């Protein structure tokens, strides 16, 4: 099995010591930094801001992935490209012609991904699988960190994994990326996990010990 990719959910980081957090995560072997952007409309919360993204981009050469939980994300694609995002995730239900948004992401030099929320069916997005590099499966409803994992997603994961060969995309997991879920879903074919408070942050343990344990226990 290929080595798992782990992305740090930076909305869970200690903002009183953000540079220290970034350095510690890099030294621990984190693969990328995950930035959640919310508009208070598509989801009933406000996530990280543009200045957060700009600072994190300036402080690391690691991959920056941005998860847009906003209405009509096509309006912001070019802006996030200029801010240095490497991967841009969008929700298909966030606008009428999301294929146009995916095309714009490609044009701006970023890798496009779609997000499938717990209540959304994979079958409604089959055509999009031809044109995206990544599918991010939500283990919780989008909008808040620290939610309880929704246990009915195993069938969705299995279905997506069977489609990878035909459509050529990778499956990633976001939302309650606990050690238990990493151990359960990585063998099924999930290639990477966004890690927040369920596994990485607020554990009073060094990040390198946590990541080493996660990789060693799969």
Helix (H) or strand (E) segment spanning residue 150: none
Phi-psi bin for 84: left (phi > 0), alpha (psi -120 to 50), beta? left
Q: Six-digit token pair at 141?
A: 């409803």
Tokens 């995950």 correspond to what residue?
A: 34
CB 164, CB 113: distance < 8 Å: no
* Backbone CA torsion sign across 147, 149, 155, 161: positive
* Backbone CA torsion sign across 141, 160, 110, 183: positive
CB 77, CB 88: distance < 8 Å: yes
CB 35, CB 65: distance < 8 Å: yes
Q: Report the candidate in 78, 65, 75 with the shortest Cα–Cα distance to residue 115.
A: 65
Give me the active site residues, please.
Answer: 36, 174
CA 146 to chain centre: 15
């Amino acid at each position: 099995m290929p080595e798992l990719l782990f992305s740090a959910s930076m909305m869970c980081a200690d903002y009183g010591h953000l540079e220290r957090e970034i350095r510690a995560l890099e030294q621990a072997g984190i693969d990328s930094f995950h930035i959640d952007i919310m508009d208070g409309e598509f989801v009933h919360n406000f996530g990280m801001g543009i200045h957060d993204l700009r600072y994190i981009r300036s402080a690391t050469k690691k991959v920056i992935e941005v998860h847009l939980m906003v209405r009509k994300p096509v309006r912001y694609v070019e802006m996030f490209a200029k801010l240095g995002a490497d991967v841009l995730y969008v929700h298909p239900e966030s606008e009428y012609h999301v294929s146009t948004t995916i095309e714009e992401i490609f044009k701006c030099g970023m890798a496009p991904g779609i997000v499938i929320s717990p209540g959304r069916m994979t079958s409604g997005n089959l055509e999009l699988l031809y044109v995206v590099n990544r599918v991010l499966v939500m283990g919780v409803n989008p909008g808040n960190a620290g939610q309880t994992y929704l246990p009915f997603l195993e069938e969705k994961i299995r279905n997506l994994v069977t489609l990878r060969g035909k459509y050529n995309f990778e499956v990633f997991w976001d939302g309650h990326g606990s050690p238990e879920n990493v151990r359960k879903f990585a063998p099924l074919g999930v290639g990477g996990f966004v890690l927040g408070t369920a596994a990485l942050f607020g554990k009073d343990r060094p990040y390198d010990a946590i990541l080493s344990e996660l990789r060693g226990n799969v």
